[in-house]
Amino acid sequence: MMKFTGFLLVALVACGPSMRGGDDFGGGGGSGSGSGSGSGSGTAQECNKMDIVFVVDDSGSMAEEQANLATNFPMFASVLSNYMTSDGQPLDFRVGLTTTGRNIDYVIDLGSGLGTLPQHETGPNGAFKNNCGPQSRWLDKTDANLNTDLGCRANVGTSGASIEMPMLMAKRAVDDRVTDGTQAGFIRSDALLAVVMITDEDDQSTMQDNFTIGLTGNAPIDWNPQDEVNAFDTLKGNRTRWAAGVIAGDGDCSSSFGMAVDGTRLKQFVTLANGQNSTQAVFSSICDGDLTIGLKKALDTFQAACGQIIL
């Protein structure tokens, strides 16, 4: 069992007391809709709220990574539960977890006159798992068995869709599934939105259905890294109100977990998120062989963003 309680605590310590005033965005200003919009007054306040979303690949190649997460998520939950802000109050956090898939139909063209092979895949389409513990779509400090329930929800299995869409599913989790009532109330205007995507494939986000691909082809991708950044900017009103961590393939790589494909589009998302001289997103290799490395880097990024939040 790998333990990272200590460094998670270090990562969270800076969240509470960091302050910033006025309209000095410290290089982390929002998009065109950002700096003057949102619910805030433009004055930094103590960051004591986080809305945390995990998007975990549940395709057939992810068994080892998910076992690692299921082991370590209880410790992650314990650190969140025990963290106190500088004014002596517990961190007000909530954690939702979904997968990279959605319901989709497509046809594989086998080529050479061999015909076609219809495919139907299923996924939660951004809906948070509620299979363990309370029926609530997310978990928070009030859950009596938070550590166990979060670890259980992280074990999402390996029978999910083979077309992985971490970016689109992250967006749908915090936007579409909130709007349609599935996760109504999850996003709070005065909380930092923190998103973690974990996959061993590159993003193939598509909003299309009933398409045809070849044996070596990809889905007709139409949700791009810039779309993802724009969606989070619009949702939160400013680049400083959200942060992201991506754990994926850094090049075509392998480790004790198996093989991973280069996360090219996910790297583009991280670069674009950091395009205003801020560090709102971080990329880590899933081939490090220890997912705690990527989780630590994500939480370090969250605490830094939390210290700069404009409320």
What is the spatial distance between Cα 158 and Cα 60, in angstroms, rounded to a whole number? 4
**Considering the entire predicted model, what is its pTM?**
0.84
Q: 36: helix, coil or strand? A: coil
Counting residues of the chain whose pLDDT is more than 90, the rounded percentage is: 50
> What's the mean pLDDT in 114-141?
94
Q: How confident is the model at residue 31 (pLDDT cuts 50, 70, 90)?
A: very low
Rounded to 5 degrees, what angle do the CA atoms 38, 17, 29 make? Answer: 35
Can you list the domains of the chain with their CATH numbers? 47-81+88-99+127-202+225-307 (3.40.50.410)
> What's the mean pLDDT in 281-302?
84
> What's the mean pLDDT in 192-209?
95
In contact, 20 and 45? CB cutoff 8 Å: no
pLDDT (tens digit per residue) in 230-250: 999 999 999 989 999 999 999
pLDDT (tens digit per residue) in 44-59: 566 788 999 999 999 8
Q: Which amino acid is at 157?
A: G
Q: How confident is the model at residue 124 (pLDDT cuts 50, 70, 90)?
A: very high
According to the model, what pLDDT value does residue 202 have? Answer: 95
According to the model, what pLDDT value does residue 26 have? Answer: 26
According to the model, what pLDDT value does residue 22 have? Answer: 29
pLDDT (tens digit per residue) in 164-188: 999 999 999 999 999 999 999 999 9
Cα–Cα distance list, 308 to 194, 294, 311 (Å): 13, 22, 10
Cα–Cα distance list, 107 to 24, 189, 219, 291 (Å): 52, 42, 10, 34
In contact, 68 and 212? CB cutoff 8 Å: no
According to the model, what pLDDT value does residue 308 have? Answer: 72
What is the spatial distance between Cα 55 and Cα 159, in angstroms, rounded to a whole number? 15
Contacting residues for 171 by C-beta, under 8 A, at least 6 apart? 126, 223, 227, 228, 231, 232
**Burial of residue 248, with CB atoms counted within 10 A of its CB: 0-12 exposed, 13-18 middle, 19 or more buried:** buried
Range scoring the smallest mean pLDDT among 87-101, 128-142, 256-270, 284-298? 284-298
